[in-house]
Amino acid sequence: MLGGFRDSFKVPDLRRRIVTTVLLLAVYRIGCYVPSPGIDGRALASFFEHIPNTLLGLADLFSGGALGNATIFALGIMPYISVSIILELLTAIVPYFDNLRRSGMEGRRKLTQITRFGTVGLCVFQGLAISMWLENPAHFNELVIVPNPGWLFRFITVITLTTGTMFLMWLGEQITDKGIGNGISLIITASIISRMPIAFHKVIQLTAAGEMHFISVLVMIALLFLVVAFAIIINESERRIPVQYAKRVVGRKVYGGQTTYLPIKLNQGGVIPLIFAISILTFPATFLTVSTNRVLQKIASLLTPTGGVGMLLYTILIIFFCYFYASMIFNPDNVADDLKKYGGFIQGIRPGKSTAAYLEKILNRLTLPGALMLTSIAILPYIMMHIDKRIPYSVASLFGGAGVLIVVSVLLETLRQVESHLLVRHYQGFLKKAKR
């Protein structure tokens, strides 16, 4: 591991990409401390300290504390992800979007443009809802968050928050193009990691105050290692299906006649189902909390995963998106057609429809345990909070949940990106399987 880290700075192109990624993430973290005008950030931060277990508290975790401090990145990157979810669903339903996805570079460019415009529209809506929510002291136990409310404040807030999210979207694209790996995922990971020192400090405070027993802390630390191990298993496990290729004579050369394997991952979507489920849950919170209507506020509280209804809904969404994304990434019909086209076949299975049905059966069998394992880790913090109500989400999220899964998954993917650069230049990589 240390050797791979040292070698990564010996490759000029890789060194440049690493430095670029670090600098761009530093720009993001600096922006998380730039306050949005017209808001009493201290008063809002004190309010968020009392609602860590709500959907707004969860949204604050994924914005790296920017929402709770009312900074220019308060909306985070979640509006972009929410629009991406809607387009992914439309791609599977509406033929127009499916044709765009299949029409090559030009179609993908148009889908990207639609996603950007949709993100702007959603940011305007959410920014207006948040500004109206901040103006009303009734939402904050009569605590004044906005000293000078009015349409001027709303306009400035909408422009500031929308610009902040669009800048984050551009920042993520720059990290993807000029840095390492998926920029959007790295931004979310940086947000989660930035909250971990605060959570560790909270654990120390609770232990010193006697609200959390030292043995409980040791058990939770052991649980953290188990969760990380299971997260790695979920990301790395795959079933390898042996595939044989028939011999073909082209001119004087013989092609094929070899045996290889077709890998099917236990969890095709990685942490994307988790991110999608969180986006779906946190989206209503931005406008349900604006209203002073008790019925709407009750609905918002039911959506919180700390309760039974919210946890059940969270579980259903994760499992649904696991199957949805598995079908998007691995299409048995297309794989079967490709195998048949190049003379490949699975021993004992006829090429064509029989192969597609066989692959679909295996995919469904693998997706179910993968989705259940992913869901179990995702709801673990809420189960811990249900057992001991004194544990806040910021502490429980250290030992499981979406945050740990996202961090582990993104770091593994980043290591693969770095390793690919190293192996091309004959350097030893980070992961053990690179030694083979």
Question: Which domain, by its residues, includes 206?
Answer: 2-435
Tens of pLDDT, residue by residue over 299-337, are 766 777 766 777 888 889 889 888 888 887 888 888 888
CATH code for the domain of 228 = 1.10.3370.10
Give CA–CA dist 35/38, Å, rounded.
9
Residue 262 φ/ψ, nearest 5 degrees = -110, 110
Give the H/E segment covering residue 265.
strand 259-265
| Amino acid 314: pLDDT | 84
Dihedral sign of CA atoms 217, 218, 221, 222 in order: negative
Tens of pLDDT, residue by residue over 327-376, are 878 888 888 888 888 778 888 888 888 888 988 889 888 888 888 888 88
> In this structure, what DSSP letter does residue 36 have?
P
| Amino acid 171: pLDDT | 92
How wide is the angle at C-alpha 135 spanned by C-alphas 278 and 57, nearest 5°? 25
Contact 408, 229 (CB under 8 A): no
The residue ranges of the chain whose pLDDT is under 50 are 434-436
Contact 84, 115 (CB under 8 A): yes
| Amino acid 60: pLDDT | 67
User: What global pTM score does this model have?
Assistant: 0.79
User: Total structural domains in the chain?
Assistant: 1
Residues in CB range of 55: below 8 A, 6 or more apart: 281, 282, 284, 285, 300, 303, 304
Give CA–CA dist 75/80, Å, rounded.
10
Give CA–CA dist 238/169, Å, rounded.
32
| Amino acid 211: pLDDT | 75
